[in-house]
Chain A
Amino acid sequence: MKREVNDDLFDWNSSLITLAHELKSPLVLIRQLTLSLDDASQKDTELIARQLSLTTDRTLRLVTDLTRVSRLEDAMFEMQPLSPRKICEDVIFTITSRHSSNVPTLTTSYTKKPTLIIAHPDLLTSVIHNFCENALHYSGGQKSPSRLFIKPTRQNQIRIGVRDFGPCLPLDIWRDIKSHKILTRPQSISARPQSSGLGLYITSRFVHAMHGRLGCVRHRDGTTIYADFPLSTQLSFQL
């Protein structure tokens, strides 16, 4: 699999449109919000400023992730033992502070065993961030909160994932994830509008670069998307 990805299977022709659209949407929003500042009241101005900040943050994160994807083969991302719980807590903190006016429905469930995995902190943060943002976006209006979890697997690995209650992942995307075809190009997800599949593509490349395995479970009332990472044999002093 490593060889397949190194062979630059990224399909630029079909993916450029996806990338352009993903970057166009926030730019359109930023432009509209900026134009509306002229006639806005003081209260609206504060709200618009916050929305502008959130939108630019989201766009910058996407651009940063895309840059990282293009450099994955340069061996710039050295793996190290990491506490996944610490990264998860940092991500939750970031998301919670960003959504302070609109508290997201995200619960956590972590294994009680102290664990360390072999990963890269920036890539792992991005993976968990994408999992959480995706779950929050697609199950925002649902009654049940999405759940971020860390648990050991039978293969002596650590599984990090999010169970959401949004639209069920279509079978073709599920098969692409299982067969690692998702690594080659973004695939739009018809049941999840506004999704070009770019986030899933970026996540799959990051997980693959960290020698992990991306997987998903289709539920009747949502989706679990997860990544399995190799367990570090280094002693863990983290709770």
Chain B
Amino acid sequence: MTRKLIYIIEDDQVLAAHFVRTLKNHTTETFTNGIDAIKRIDQQLPDLIILDVIIDGPSAFSLLHELQSYTDTAQIPIIICSSLDLTQYDLTLYGVVRVLDKSTMHPDDLVEAVSYAR
């Protein structure tokens, strides 16, 4: 399994720590808001982003728009992980490869989604 660099954007720090533990076979960095994440993305592109929808500062959709504005960042696969039910929406145009519902998912679902994201 390839070790990926994953940015986790989640403002609940306990949940973010849980994701880090779940993805212990990958290199992870956590951010509570999109602005800090964008700054870091400008320095180093991640292999994957795990994104909550309700985050500090600008919304997750502002971040998705921002990422789609540049050819290099538009290629980053994104997994949305939210309590909001977004599964019925097609977000592939935003680079979203998978939508996970936090209230029903199992930690293994996240590991699997990360494995298949490319």
Chain A residues near B (Cβ < 8 Å): 21, 24-25, 27-29, 31-33, 35-36, 39-40, 44, 48, 51, 54-55, 141, 193-194
Chain B residues near A (Cβ < 8 Å): 11-12, 14-15, 17-18, 21-22, 32, 54-57, 83, 102-103, 105-107
Could you say which residues of chain A place their CB within 8 Å of the CB of B15? 28-29, 32
Query: Can you name 6 extra interface pairs (CB under 8 A) apart from A31-B103, A193-B57?
Result: A29-B12, A29-B14, A33-B14, A39-B107, A193-B54, A194-B54
What is the interface of chain B mostly: helix, strand, loop, or mixed? loop
Which residue of A has the minimal Cβ distance to B22? A36
Could you say which residues of chain B place their CB within 8 Å of the CB of A44? 21
- The A-B contact count (CB < 8 A) is 47
What is the interface of chain A mostly: helix, strand, loop, or mixed? helix
- A32–B107 alpha-carbon span in the complex (Å): 7
Which residue of B has the minimal Cβ distance to A102? B13
Could you say which residues of chain A place their CB within 8 Å of the CB of B54? 193-194
CB distance from A138 to the nearest CB of B (A): 9
Q: Which of A21, A33, A141 contacts B18 (CB 8 A)?
A: A33
- A36–B17 alpha-carbon span in the complex (Å): 12
> Beyond A32-B18, A33-B18, A36-B21, is A193–B11 a contact (Cβ under 8 Å)?
yes
Of A25, A40, A54, most buried by chain B (CB within 10 Å of CB) is A25
Contact B14 A35 (CB under 8 A): no
Contact A24 B11 (CB under 8 A): no
Which residue of B has the minimal Cβ distance to A138? B56
Could you say which residues of chain A place their CB within 8 Å of the CB of B14? 29, 33, 51, 54-55
26 residue pairs from A and B, CB less than 8 Å apart = A27-B103, A28-B15, A28-B83, A28-B102, A28-B103, A29-B12, A29-B15, A29-B18, A32-B102, A32-B105, A32-B107, A33-B18, A35-B106, A36-B18, A36-B21, A36-B107, A51-B17, A51-B18, A54-B14, A193-B11, A193-B56, A193-B57, A194-B11, A194-B12, A194-B54, A194-B56
Q: Which of B17, B21, B55, B107 contacts A193 (CB 8 A)?
A: B55
Contact B103 A40 (CB under 8 A): no
- A39–B22 alpha-carbon span in the complex (Å): 9
- A137–B95 alpha-carbon span in the complex (Å): 31
